[in-house]
Amino acid sequence: MGSFPYRFPTFAPHFKIMFKLLTKGFWEAVARLILRNRIAILVSIALVTLFFAYQWKNMRFTYTEANLLPDDNPINITYNEFLKIFGEEGNLIVLGVKDPTLLTVEKLNAWNQLAQDFKAYPEVDAVLSIKELQKLVKNTDKETFELEPFIKDSVQSQEQINLLARELFEQYPFYDNFLFNSTTKTIRTAIYLKKEIVNTADRKDFVLNDLIPRIEAFEKATDLDVRVSGMPYIRTLNAQIIVDEIPWFIAAALFTTSLIFFFFFRSFRATFISLIVVCFGVMWTFGILGLFNYEITVLTALIPPLIIVIGIPNCIFLINKYQHEVKSHGNKIKSLQRVITKIGNATLMTNLTTASGFATFIITESTLLKEFGIVASLSIVGIFLLCLLSIPIIYSFMPIPKDRHLEHLNKRWIGGFVGWIERMVRDHRVAIYFTTVALLVISIIGIYKIKISGSLIEDMPKKAAFFDDIRFFESEFNGIMPLEFMVDTKRKKGVMRLATLKKMDQLEQAIEETHELSRPISVVSLVKYSKQAYYNGNPEYYQLPTSQENSFILSYARNSGSSANLLQSFVDSTGRYARITTFMKDIGTGRMQRIEENLQKEIDDLFPSENYDVIMTGKALVFQKGTNYLVNNLVASLALAIFLIALFMAYMFRSFRMILISLLPNILPLVITAGLMGFLGVPIKPSTILVFSIAFGISVDDTIHFLAKYRQELIANHWKIRKSVYAALRETGVSMFYTSVVLFFGFSVFTISSFGGTVALGALVSVTLLFAMFSNLLLLPSLLLSLERSIANKEVLKEPSINIIPEEEIEDENSKIQ
């Protein structure tokens, strides 16, 4: 078949020209729209702000732990199955006293009365204290077990206390390591909250308004140091500190960024305008949280100050450009038009890349991070719109800046800094490359030293009193974080079979031999206690019954309503499921993984899968599994952030070599920060893993500004790379320095936090952005100069799809604005 003689016209160049005209026309139209409809836009901003302010009523603070796993994860499903059978496991608050004077008549009676007082609160389900402790005794006539209190009324004499102490500490191991430590003589009281209020605001009200004041009054009256812990108590105080820190973060971010802004611009007017704009951005952020009914967590609490820190650089670019234009030609309206048309596109792209860095958290499928990513990315888009719309409009109503407002543009010290950068790039590129390679090698060594941490309490405020109490209970009772084992016997009443009890007892011995875990408590302990009671309380018989003893001891138990009440805490109503409860110390992910492997091997050996299903669960285990899940998924989210931003670069510059050149200076700071974490012993954990996506999304903004200006200079200088690089460096170096300083000190405000994770996040992001500034100012232009021959032709530096900085100036449209 012959070829078709007619060739269809190629439309690509026409579309390309049309797109450029449309892009240029778009920003001109935006400028006209903004400056012609100033009042309407300001009213619209006010109405949107009122709408978001109205959503504040839906804001709520978290009353649960951060669940880092998705709802459909097998670990979560297993945990929810356990809760469905045995109910909420984190409802225990413990009070402890380690003081020999407690065992005196007056103080012990006061301690017992304190426990009695808590019984009266509607939020409390049960209280176990020395006063409530009861002996399991045998009634031979009725062939049943009965409960007999250790203390019938109040303590009357020291002799009575001494007898009580001997009985408790020497004869009743069932209660040892639960309500007392027989070795150190530490005594505690257990308060069980009603399970339905554990994850509600009622828990907070009880802890803050009832529990703490009552304990403080008791301490003052008795001169005893009462230690308090338990997950409901820890979660409440932890959440309250988050709430209390939010205004401090916002105030610190406003003060720090405004101080730096004023130092650069020396203008109260510019500083005040910027603060007003970012404050509106903060109001929008809270409104977005309320609109989506998201909880304020340790992560979402960071977004309002983040918006201040990210919003101020937007203000710097816009105001700095406006003042440059005013200084250049003195026409206010023309200057405002050029601010929108020349900076609008660049600011849009930089905010989109920053938002992309946060939006990648959405793919983690962790509800906590997904909400953080959604709110942060939407808030960044919101602050961009606020800056672009409000700053030109506000300045349009104000008189043109006077000479004193423009003096900062001629600062010698910043010129000296840019001159030093230029000399380094021109004369010392080999030193820059050598330093880069050396830092890279050292950082890779540091990366191999990084450890992963899944500690539930590691990021909690170390200076808080409740943190000391956590360590106290770890020392005295081997921890307060529950770890649960659920045994499914696959048959009704299968738990009480002696063979099952023996297997559970062997598993408990393995648990007890693990020094990070406390002595477990289960139906096995109750059966041992029953045998002891059958033999008249002799502690030598605190053991499982033999097959001969089992039938008549269990017959006593079946006749006992008291035993049934004790049994329901450990066995479900059908007798098919049993739980073994232990508490663990604050240990890292690595050690926990080894413990889990050892215990799982023990479970597999003891419980044949055809007869039993045994699961290991509990809040502590769920959190640690969530940390591992998070690390794996956030590596993927960082890769996605790099990929998305590479796409932005590809779309803007349409050159693979330019993509590589632009990404390298922004990946290098991430590697250096990771190396620092390894050398400084900062582990990978939910808070620190966020650093990389956040820092990468922000640091690439400087690259975009520099390369956009660089390409504009290439066209102006007829593709002379060397001249264009230095011109772009002088033009953008000041803004890059200003914004990097603001970001460095802005993120540094998070170091005032009480939470170790927040401190690490702020410090690491600040350091990363500082490295990124020098990388973009030194390494990026050095690469462009060294690769001059490879990129010195128009085929490589093709005309971009988007002109970040327009090459033509806009005509003065002063007459068109009403």
Q: What pLDDT digit, counting tens, does each position of 557-567 carry?
A: 655 544 445 56
Say how many CA atoms lie within 13 Å of 273 toward its Cβ.
23
Backbone torsions φ then ψ of 193, nearest 5 degrees: -80, 155
Give CA–CA dist 562/529, Å, rounded: 13
Of residues 87 and 513, which shows the higher confidence score?
Answer: 513
pLDDT of residue 818: 39
Of residues 667 and 349, which shows the higher confidence score?
Answer: 667
Note the pLDDT tens digit of each residue in 314-352: 888 888 788 878 877 778 888 888 888 877 777 787 788
pLDDT of residue 16: 45
| 3-class DSSP assignment, residue 293 | coil
Find the angle CA(153)-CA(159)-CA(163) to the nearest 5 degrees: 80
Which residue bears the tokens 């264009």? Answer: 724
Give 814's pLDDT tier (boundaries 50, 70, 90): very low
Q: Give the Cβ contact number of residue 488 at 10 Å.
A: 19
Asked whether the beta carbons of 573 and 579 are under 8 A apart, the reply is no
pLDDT of residue 380: 93
Q: Is the dihedral of CA 369, 372, 378, 381 positive or negative?
A: negative
Q: Give the Cβ contact number of residue 456 at 10 Å.
A: 24
pLDDT of residue 41: 92
Q: Would you say residue 639 has pLDDT above 70? A: yes
pLDDT of residue 426: 86
Neighbouring residues of 57: CB distance < 8 A, sequence distance ≥ 6 = 290
Which residue bears the tokens 């059966």? Answer: 527
Share of the chain above pLDDT 70, in %: 86
Secondary structure element (H or E) that encloses residue 94, with its range: strand 92-97
Of the listed ranges 337-346, 422-431, 807-816, the least confidently predicted one is 807-816
Of the listed ranges 4-8, 389-393, 640-644, 670-674, the least confidently predicted one is 4-8
User: Read out DSSP for 135-151?
Assistant: EEEEETTTTEEEEEES-
Of residues 40 and 183, which shows the higher confidence score?
Answer: 40
Q: Would you say residue 88 has pLDDT above 70? A: no
pLDDT of residue 444: 92
pLDDT of residue 560: 52
Q: Would you say residue 124 has pLDDT above 80? A: yes
For residues 146-160, give the mean pLDDT.
78
What's the mean per-residue pLDDT of the chain? 80
Give CA–CA dist 92/98, Å, rounded: 19
**Residues recorded for the chain:** 818
pLDDT of residue 425: 87
Q: What are the angstrom distances between the C-alpha of 717 and each of 711, 712, 722, 724? A: 10, 9, 10, 7
- Max Cα-Cα span within the chain: 118
Note the pLDDT tens digit of each residue in 263-285: 877 778 888 999 999 999 999 99
pLDDT of residue 699: 79
Which residue bears the tokens 């994860």? Answer: 73
For residues 129-145, give the mean pLDDT.
75
Asked whether the beta carbons of 736 and 705 are under 8 A apart, the reply is yes
Cα–Cα nearest to 321, from 401, 245, 382: 401
Give 13's pLDDT tier (boundaries 50, 70, 90): very low
Share of the chain above pLDDT 90, in %: 14
Burial class (CB in 10 A: 0-12, 13-18, 19+), 509: exposed
Secondary structure element (H or E) that encloses residue 472, with its range: helix 465-477
For residues 635-658, give the mean pLDDT.
73
Burial class (CB in 10 A: 0-12, 13-18, 19+), 502: middle
Asked whether the beta carbons of 417 and 737 are under 8 A apart, the reply is yes
Note the pLDDT tens digit of each residue in 715-759: 777 777 788 888 888 877 877 888 888 888 888 888 888 877 788
Give CA–CA dist 600/510, Å, rounded: 11
Give 462's pLDDT tier (boundaries 50, 70, 90): confident
For the chain, state the CA radius of gyration: 34
pLDDT of residue 564: 44
| 3-class DSSP assignment, residue 140 | coil
Note the pLDDT tens digit of each residue in 297-310: 777 888 898 898 88
Q: Would you say residue 779 has pLDDT above 50? A: yes
Per-residue tokens: 224: 């005893």
pLDDT of residue 623: 75
For residues 541-563, give the mean pLDDT.
68
Q: Would you say residue 22 has pLDDT above 60? A: no
Give CA–CA dist 148/169, Å, rounded: 17
Give CA–CA dist 417/740, Å, rounded: 14
Neighbouring residues of 605: CB distance < 8 A, sequence distance ≥ 6 = none
pLDDT of residue 214: 93
Cα–Cα nearest to 388, from 354, 425, 421, 350: 350
Which residue type sits at 814? N
Per-residue tokens: 282: 């903060």
Q: Would you say residue 287 has pLDDT above 90? A: yes
pLDDT of residue 383: 93
For residues 650-664, give the mean pLDDT.
75
